[in-house]
Structures are given as structure tokens and as C-alpha cells.
Amino acid sequence: MRPSHRLCTALAALLAGAPLAGQWGPVATVSAPSPRADALLTYDVFANRLLLFGGNGTNEVWSLAGSAWTQLTPSALPGPRIHASLSTMPLLGEVLLYGGLGGGQFALDETWRWDGTTWQQLTPTASPGGLYRHVAAFDDVRQTTVLFGGRQNSWHPTQAKSGTWEFANGTWTLVTPIVSPPGLVDAAMTWHPGLNQVVLFGGRDSSDVAHDETWTYDGTTWQQISTTGPRPSPRIGARMVPLLGTNSCMLCGGRDPVTMQILNDTWHHDGADWIEVTHVYAGMYPPRADFAIAHDFARNRIVAFGGVVANNGLRDDTWEYGAQFQPFGIGCSGTAGIPTMAASTLPVVGAPFSGQITNLPAASPLVAVLFGVSRTQWIPGSLPMLLTQWGMPGCRVYQSMDEKVLLPVTNGTAAWNWLVPGWPGLGGLALHMQVMAFDPGVNAAGQTMSGAATIVLGN
């Protein structure tokens, strides 16, 4: 993106001393699964899509490719369950499902494999003996699924296992690390691409005490990371995913174990420290727990679905973490209709950000793209603001007009193709853009406005 000098100056002022900014945003999808919590989401490598299993104690299987959800009907299915685990084996393109609670007193001791087409129940020679509320992650270096903690007996509400199990070569093996976390349920665990180890955070022990400890596992032993700076608060039911592009991992949400308040924070772990993501785009709204989350490897974006919100309401919305182009507001009609913006690419730091503006008067030689750092306040007053007094009845400005870029119009269409600066720390910064179209005779001012869009710069 090559904005004018004044806009670069505004960006620099915003970045000065700013903490890591958030990049969460809702995305429009079609045919979504019904509202649900406790679903499992992972990346289906060979089919190049996301795969969702279960939720609300079902055994439904859904895929998400692009913006379309599709319910799948495989020839074989695991039974309905809650609190199971999924891990993905990228080189093999397989997904491993283990355990869960199927309605009885004891957890299911079942291992299932998804091969891209259907599920197959495996018959390992050894197994964890049935677990739920455990965690699992795939060790990319050792090509092994690591499983930790969980509970076997639902009639024993404070039971918390401390076993570390590994699945490789078709069977489970109980390993005996020299050091291990205490028995935990409802922890969060993932692969950390910067450390090349599995990382575990939080959970609740057999004394019903929640933890804020960070542990790593290298295949031989567990090690508690000493964290001297800020770190996430104790929590249960949080979610963790790898961030491959930044060699870090991300922790999201969960519940306060004392108040059971749903948390809406996002943290990155860079291999040494926890860094909290801040600003309005740092979480999903409304806040939720027990949502499904996965890393879409092909697009390098984190995708989340559903979850439970306050008062036990359930959601069926899809969110993504990364660069965003989020339209909002309504435009006002001109002689060629309402000017409309559409992004062709997303605004990623150091990469081209492009798009088109349509429904412009064919006779107009130029269109103005307005940039602002605020969508709540402008010098004349609060936003959005009706422009009737400026000769544009029915038109609104949605963002502070801090900078303007003129684009040529050809046959009623204009295009932008700007390089987003590759400045360190720019990812997560939000700007707002709106189009002012020159349309002589349409009103006293001879101008119309598009709706607006928030652009969140992604890493």
C-alpha cells in the first residue's frame, strides 16, 4: 500500500508504543452447521478444507471450503460424544480422533482415523483406556500424536489423569517422562512451530484448582516454562493453535474457573514470553467458550466456529484471525447506483492490497478513497454523520477523513492496488475506508458516498 505521506505519518503515530493488535473478524458463510458448542475443528490436508466433528453431543461431520459449509455423509462414523480430541497428521493427510464421553459413566476408549473420505475405527494393541476432557496435539518433528491428561469416570468429578500417551505406528504408548505436569482436565495444548515442541497451558487439577502454568514437551520430558512477564490468567477450556507464519502459537478464550465468566482474550507465545493481543479486534463478539478452532494451513489463517456465550446461548458464526476487509454501513445512490467497494486481496503487511470500486458515473474521471483512523469521531462531531447540511441528503460519512487518495475511473469502475508497508508491528492495525464519488447534478454537492469498510492489516 502506498498511501500519501500524511497517512504514513498517521500510521507511525498509531504504532508508537502500541502493543500487539488483534485481527479477529467475522466472515460470511453459507449453509453453516446449527448453533453448537464443543465441536472439534481441524485441517483436512488432502481435501484442502477444514473438517468439523460433533458439537452438542452429535457425531455430525462438516467441511468448510472457501465460504461454504457442507455436511458430509461418510460411510462410517464414530458415535455421538462430547469432550473428545482431534489431531492432524499433515504428511499422511490423516486426522486422529480419540475418546470422549458417549453418555455412559466411563469415557470411550475408541481411536478413529479420518482418511479424507471416511472414518475407520482402529484396533491398537494398547490404549489410554478411555478418556475425555483430555488434550491432544501432533508433534511435527517426531510425527507422533501426543495426548495428555483427562478423566475416565464421569462419576468422579475431580478425577484428573497425568498420563502422557503417544500414538505412532498404529498404537498407543504410555511414556514415562522424568518431569510431568500434574493431572489436568480441560487444558489447552498445541504444536509450537518456533520451539518445535508441544506446548500445554492451564487446565484444572484433581483438587479443582485451575492453573496458569505453561509446559513444553520434547518427547522425553515435560518442562515448565518460567514466565516473568504478563501471562494468561488461570482458565479451563481455552483453545490453542499454531501460528506457522510467525513461528509462534496462539491461546484464545476459555472460562474463569472461579466465576465461570467467559474470557475473550487472545495471547501469542513467541517461544519465550506471552504477548497479549489488544484493541477491539482482539476477540470474538459476543465472547464465547467451547468453540471449535483450527489453522487453515493453505490460507495461513486461524478459523473459529460456534461456541457458547453468556446465559448458555449457542452460536453458529464463523470467525477468522488474520487480515480483514469488513464492509459496514450503507451508501447513497447516484446516477449509476450506490458506489460499491470490493476487495480482491486482503491487506497483508508487505503485500499488495487490491480491489475494485463499481457503480461509478461513467463520465466521472476520478473517485476519492477516504482513509480514517476512527469510525466513532471526526472533527465536526460523532460518527456516523449525515451529510445533509453539506448538500448530500441521505449520504453518511462513517470514518474520520484523515487522508484522501484519488483513483482514475474507466467505464464506471476504478481499481486500487497498493502495497501495504512492511513496517514491523503494523499487523493488526485497523483503518477505515470509504469512497466519495464525483457525480455532478445528483445533489447540491455533486457527490455520493459508498458504504465503508474496516481494513485490519494482517501479518
Give me the number of domains the chain comprises: 2
- Identify whether 11 is part of a domain: no
Q: Which helix (H) or strand (E) holds 7?
A: helix 5-15
- Identify whether 96 is part of a domain: yes
Distance from the first to the final alpha carbon of the chain: 14
Q: Do 253 and 374 lie in a common domain?
A: no
- Identify whether 8 is part of a domain: no
State the Cα–Cα distance between residues 25 and 298, nearest whole angstrom.
19
pLDDT of 1 > 80? The answer is no
pLDDT of 330 > 80? The answer is yes
Burial class (CB in 10 A: 0-12, 13-18, 19+), 444: exposed
**CA 408 centroid distance within chain:** 36
Q: So what's the pLDDT on residue 451?
A: 97
Least confident stretch, 19-28, 133-142, 213-222, 297-306: 19-28
CATH number, domain of 124, equals 2.120.10.80
pLDDT 10s digits, 123-144: 999 999 999 999 999 999 999 9
Mean pLDDT on 29-55: 95
Q: Do 305 and 379 lie in a common domain?
A: no
pLDDT 10s digits, 395-445: 999 999 888 999 999 999 999 999 998 887 787 888 899 999 999 999 999
- Identify whether 12 is part of a domain: no
Q: Do 436 and 355 lie in a common domain?
A: yes
Q: Give the rounded percent of residues in the chain with a pLDDT score beyond 70.
A: 95
Least confident stretch, 44-58, 72-86, 243-257: 243-257
Q: Do 351 and 419 lie in a common domain?
A: yes
CATH number, domain of 423, equals 2.20.130.20
Q: So what's the pLDDT on residue 279?
A: 74
* Three-state DSSP state, 224: strand
Q: Do 265 and 310 lie in a common domain?
A: yes
Q: Which amino acid is at 63?
A: S
Q: So what's the pLDDT on residue 20?
A: 58
Residue 151 is given by DSSP the state: B
Q: Do 305 and 360 lie in a common domain?
A: no
- Identify whether 128 is part of a domain: yes
CA atoms within 13 A on the CB side of 371: 19
Mean pLDDT on 213-231: 93
**What contacts 316, CB < 8 A, 6 or more positions away?**
32, 33, 34, 35, 36, 305, 306
Query: What are the angstrom distances between the C-alpha of 409 and each of 392, 404, 414?
Result: 21, 16, 5
State the Cα–Cα distance between residues 106 and 156, nearest whole angstrom.
10
Q: Do 77 and 136 lie in a common domain?
A: yes
pLDDT of 207 > 70? The answer is yes
- Identify whether 155 is part of a domain: yes
pLDDT of 236 > 50? The answer is yes
Confidence of residue 117 (pLDDT cuts 50, 70, 90): very high
Q: Do 349 and 286 lie in a common domain?
A: no
Based on its alpha-carbon atoms, the radius of gyration of the chain, rounded to whole angstroms, reads 25
State the Cα–Cα distance between residues 254 and 283, nearest whole angstrom.
12
For CA atoms 237, 242, 243, 249, give the dihedral sign.
positive
Identify the domain boundary among 289, 321, 353.
321
Confidence of residue 252 (pLDDT cuts 50, 70, 90): very high
- Identify whether 15 is part of a domain: no
Identify the domain boundary among 271, 286, 321.
321
Identify the domain boundary among 268, 291, 321.
321
Burial class (CB in 10 A: 0-12, 13-18, 19+), 389: exposed
Q: So what's the pLDDT on residue 8?
A: 54
DSSP string across 86-125 = EEEETTTTEEEEE--B-SSSB----EEEE-SS-EEE---S
Least confident stretch, 44-48, 164-168, 316-320: 44-48
Q: So what's the pLDDT on residue 62?
A: 98
Q: So what's the pLDDT on residue 239?
A: 95
State the Cα–Cα distance between residues 364 and 440, nearest whole angstrom.
8
Q: So what's the pLDDT on residue 4?
A: 43
Asked whether the beta carbons of 420 and 2 are under 8 A apart, the reply is no
pLDDT 10s digits, 52-96: 999 999 999 999 998 999 999 999 999 999 999 999 988 888 999
Residue 182 or 363, more confident: 182
- Identify whether 4 is part of a domain: no
State the Cα–Cα distance between residues 409 and 365, nearest whole angstrom.
5
Confidence of residue 104 (pLDDT cuts 50, 70, 90): very high
- Please identify which residue in the block is written with the cell numbers 496458569: 212
Q: Do 304 and 378 lie in a common domain?
A: no
The pair phi, psi for residue 296, each rounded to 5°, is -80, 100
Q: Which amino acid is at 78?
A: P
What's the mean per-residue pLDDT of the chain? 92
State the Cα–Cα distance between residues 211 and 261, nearest whole angstrom.
16
Q: Do 378 and 234 lie in a common domain?
A: no
Q: Do 224 and 139 lie in a common domain?
A: yes
- Give the domain range for residue 97: 24-321
pLDDT of 16 > 70? The answer is no
State the Cα–Cα distance between residues 348 and 345, nearest whole angstrom.
9
Q: Do 276 and 360 lie in a common domain?
A: no
Mean pLDDT on 166-176: 96
**What contacts 169, CB < 8 A, 6 or more positions away?**
none
Asked whether the beta carbons of 370 and 399 are under 8 A apart, the reply is yes
Confidence of residue 313 (pLDDT cuts 50, 70, 90): very high
